[in-house]
Each structure stands twice: as structure tokens, then as C-alpha cells.
């Protein structure tokens, strides 16, 4: 078997499907605007050319970049868990997100209540 002269990696079918998943999620969640590329570049610290390759499905992000995508894009986490056959964890992640939003809302309500008591 001879190896191709260009590129550093051999692409398997799993890498191609991961690449396609990342591309699909980015396009669906953020659209295909230049501003979307810039936003993802800010989230991940990757160069804009690299991010454009993710959007086009040419390349997939490496681990640390993927982790940043998951932190900023809940759709990416959901797609990854679904692709790994862990849909049960999606519900868990949504519950945790809802709890965090409730905590934030309670802080706002508490501050409003405290402001009203100090005025009255």
C-alpha cells in the first residue's frame, strides 16, 4: 500500500463523518456568514482559514478546538452525543442548562426584591 504524497493523516470513515457532523452543526447553528467564521475563531482561538475549513467540511477541529465549540455551541454537544449513541445524556445536559438559567433568574429576582425593600 502506498501513502499519498500530500497531507499528514490518513482519513478513515469515522473522521469523514465527524467532519461532516461539525460542518452541518456549524452551518445550522450559526449560518454561513463571514461573521460566523469570525465568531467561531474567537471562541476557539483557531485561525479564520481553519474555521472556514470546518464550515466547508474539508477538515475537522482537533480536541481543544472541539472542546471550545462544545462550550459555546450546545448544538455541537447534542450532535456529538447523538453520534456517540448517548442521547440519554442530551436530556441530562438540557436539565443542567435549565437549572443554570433558573439560578440566574433567581439572582435577578432576589436583587429586584432587595431593591424594592430598600426603597419601601
Residue 56: HSE in the Cβ half-sphere, 13 Å Cα cutoff: 9
In a domain, 46, yes or no: yes
In a domain, 3, yes or no: no
Helix locations, the chain, DSSP H: 13-30, 34-44, 48-56, 63-72, 74-83, 87-119
The pLDDT confidence band at residue 41, using thresholds 50, 70 and 90, is very high
Whether 73 contacts 29, CB under 8 Å: yes
The pLDDT confidence band at residue 91, using thresholds 50, 70 and 90, is confident
Range of the domain at 91: 86-120
What total of structural domains would you count in the chain?
A: 2
Closest CA to 55 of 77, 32, 75, 78: 32
Q: Kindly state whether residues 70 and 106 are assigned to the same domain.
A: no
Q: Kindly state whether residues 76 and 38 are assigned to the same domain.
A: yes
Q: Kindly state whether residues 41 and 98 are assigned to the same domain.
A: no
In a domain, 114, yes or no: yes
Quote the cell numbers at residue 80. Answer: 456529538
pTM for the predicted model, two decimal places: 0.67
Amino acid at each position: 500500500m502506498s501513502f499519498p504524497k500530500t497531507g499528514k493523516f490518513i482519513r478513515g470513515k469515522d473522521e469523514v463523518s465527524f467532519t461532516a457532523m461539525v460542518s452541518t452543526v456549524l452551518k445550522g447553528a450559526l449560518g454561513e456568514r463571514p461573521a460566523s467564521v469570525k465568531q467561531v475563531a474567537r471562541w476557539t482561538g483557531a485561525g479564520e482559514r481553519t474555521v472556514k475549513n470546518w464550515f466547508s467540511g474539508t477538515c475537522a477541529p482537533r480536541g481543544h478546538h472541539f472542546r471550545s465549540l462544545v462550550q459555546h455551541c450546545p448544538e455541537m454537544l447534542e450532535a456529538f452525543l447523538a453520534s456517540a449513541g448517548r442521547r440519554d445524556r442530551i436530556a441530562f445536559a438540557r436539565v443542567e442548562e435549565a437549572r443554570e438559567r433558573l439560578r440566574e433568574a433567581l439572582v435577578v429576582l432576589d436583587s429586584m426584591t432587595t431593591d424594592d425593600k430598600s426603597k419601601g
